[in-house]
Amino acid sequence: MQFLVTGAAGFLGSALANRLAREGHNVRGLDDLSTGDPSVLSPSVNFTRGDINDRPKLWTLLQGVDCVYHLAARVLVPESVLYPREYDKVNVGGTVALMEAMHDVGVRRVVFISSGAIYGEQSEQPLREKATPQPRSPYAVSKLAAEYYVRTIGRLWGIETVCLRVFNAYGPGQPLPPVHPPVIPNFLRQAALEGTLVVHGDGYQTRDYVYLDDVVNAMCGAATAPGVNDLVINVGSGVETSVRELIRLVREVTGGNPEVVYNPRNDGGPARMCADLTLAKEKLGYSPAVSLEVGLRNTFEMDAKLRKLKG
C-alpha cells in the first residue's frame, strides 16, 4: 500500500513510518521539523519537509496514496495555554486543509491520531468513547475540534475516517525538551542522575501509560480494518497507574533513589484516566502486550540518551 504519514519525524510518526516501511509499504512522510527529527527515519521513507497547511505540497504528496495517517500537531498542553491560536492553526486548520486536499485528490481513508486528553475530568472509569468530552486545555479542544472536522467532512465527502484517541504514549526515543518534558523519560532521566522527581499533586492522580509498540500496532491495524468508518477508538493500556506507583517502578528499573518533591497541582489535569479498550479489541483486534514495568525497562535500556546517564 501507499501511505502518507504527517508528523512523520515525531515520536509516534517516525515509529509508524519506519514500521510501515519495514513491512514493505511505500511510505511518504511530511513534517515541518518544528519539533521532529528526520534522522530517526528509515532511508526507505520518502521524507518531505513542509507545513500541513501547504495545500500544493499536500496535493503532490497525496497522489496515489491509499491511506493517510494524520499525526502532524502541536502537542504540549502548557504551551497551548500560552499560544491557543497557534494550536488552532496547526491542529484544526491543518486538519481541515488535509481533508480538503484528500477530497481534491481522491484519497479514500484517513486515520487521525487524537488524544485521550479530550475526556478531561470524568466520574466513570475506565473511559468509554461515548463519554461526553470535557477538554481542559486549548490542546485538548483543538484535538476534539479536529475529530469533529474529520468525521463531518468524511461523511459529507465519502472519505473513510478512523479517529484513535491515544492515551499517554511512551517508549525509546521519546524527545526530552528542556521545558515541559514528558513524565516518563523525565522521571527515568532524573532517577538515573539521582536527581529530583517533581510531582504536581499528591501523587495519587492516575494515567494510562501505553507503550510505543502497542500504539503502532493499533495504528497499523486501523488502515485496513473493516467496519471502522466514522468511529472513535481508544488506544491505551487499559491499566490505571498512579504517579506514586510509576515512581516505584522507575526506581526499580533504574536502580536509582531520587528525591521526590510534591508540589501543589498546577496543570488542571484530570484526577484519573484509564482507557476502556472494548471497542479497540473488537474492531482492531488490539490487545496491548507490554506492561508498564517491561516498557519502562525497555525504554531505559534501549534509549541511548538515558542509558549513558547511568554509565
Any residues with CB less than 8 A from the CB of 100 and at least 6 apart, and which?
55, 153
Q: What pLDDT is attached to residue 309?
A: 54
Angle at 164 between CA 22 and CA 42, to 5 degrees: 20
Q: How many Å apart are CA 310 and CA 296, to the nearest integer?
A: 15
Q: How many Å apart are CA 23 and CA 242, to the nearest integer?
A: 36
Cell of 225: 480494518
H-state helical runs in the chain: 11-22, 55-62, 77-82, 84-87, 94-105, 138-157, 183-192, 212-222, 243-254, 278-284, 292-302, 304-310
pLDDT at 302 over 50: yes
User: Considering the chain, what is the average pLDDT of its residues?
Assistant: 95
For strands 160-166 and 109-115, give the pairing.
parallel
How far is residue 85 from each of residues 17, 35, 92, 144, 237, measured CA to CA in Å?
29, 18, 10, 15, 32
Q: pLDDT digit string (tens) for 134-167?
A: 999 999 999 999 999 999 999 999 999 999 999 9
The DSSP H or E segment spanning 160 is strand 160-166
φ, ψ at 110 (rounded to 5°): -135, 135
φ, ψ at 27 (rounded to 5°): -125, 125
Q: How many Å apart are CA 139 and CA 146, to the nearest integer?
A: 11
For strands 209-211 and 259-263, give the pairing.
unpaired
Q: What pLDDT is attached to residue 269?
A: 79
Any residues with CB less than 8 A from the CB of 203 and at least 6 apart, and which?
242, 243, 244, 247, 260, 262
* Beta-bridge partner residues of 72: none
Q: What is the mean pLDDT of residues 181-193?
A: 94
Torsion, Cα 59 65 68 72, to 10 degrees, reads -40
Q: What pLDDT is attached to residue 311?
A: 46
Question: Would you call 119 a catalytic residue per the annotation?
Answer: no
Angle at 108 between CA 37 and CA 42, to 5 degrees: 25
Report the percentage of the chain scoring pLDDT > 70. 97
Reduced to 3 states (helix: H, G, I; strand: E, B; else coil), residue 163 is: strand
Q: pLDDT digit string (tens) for 217-231?
A: 999 999 999 999 999
Select which of 139, 149, 170, 211 is catalytic.
Answer: 139
pLDDT at 268 over 70: no
How far is residue 302 from each of residues 80, 116, 305, measured CA to CA in Å?
31, 26, 9
pTM value is: 0.96
pLDDT at 308 over 70: no
